[in-house]
Amino acid sequence: DAKTTQPPSMDCAEGRAANLPCNHSTISGNEYVYWYRQIHSQGPQYIIHGLKNNETNEMASLIITEDRKSSTLILPHATLRDTAVYYCIVRVVGGGADGLTFGKGTHLIIQP
């Protein structure tokens, strides 16, 4: 799986959009970008994934650059409950599931 680089921490004001960057310059053509988050003392939670098109669901939007070497997770209206560690993971899809490789992630702190 391709390696990812994320800032260790970020702050965002409550009610504003939180934009979390991820670099994955060695991503292969058949690798997807996944985002998970882990709120303190809880298990990780799936947020969103994408291949090359931008994706949106009820939790967040995922913007992937045209060359696919980086992406941004956007939480449109951050709340205090969005304070968590956010993990960007890239991996091949297909042939069944297998384990996720978590890096250190970005600790997002939402300020009141």
Partner 1 sequence: DAGVIQSPRHEVTEMGQEVTLRCKPISGHDYLFWYRQTMMRGLELLIYFNNNVPIDDSGMPEDRFSAKMPNASFSTLKIQPSEPRDSAVYFCASSPPGGAFNEQFFGPGTRLTVL
- With a CB cutoff of 8 Å and minimum separation 6, the contacts of 69 are 23, 24, 25, 27
- Asked whether position 39 contacts partner 1 by CB under 8 A, the answer is no
Both tokens of 68, joined, read 């696919």
CB nearer to partner 1: give 9 or 111: 9
User: Where does this chain touch partner 1 (CB under 8 A) — which range of 22-30, 64-72, 74-82, 97-105?
Assistant: 97-105
User: Where does this chain touch partner 1 (CB under 8 A) — which range of 8-16, 43-51, 55-63, 69-77?
Assistant: 43-51
Single out the residue of 19, 49, 72, 109 in contact with partner 1 (rule: CB under 8 A).
49
| Listed residue (9, 73, 85) closest to 41, CA to CA | 85
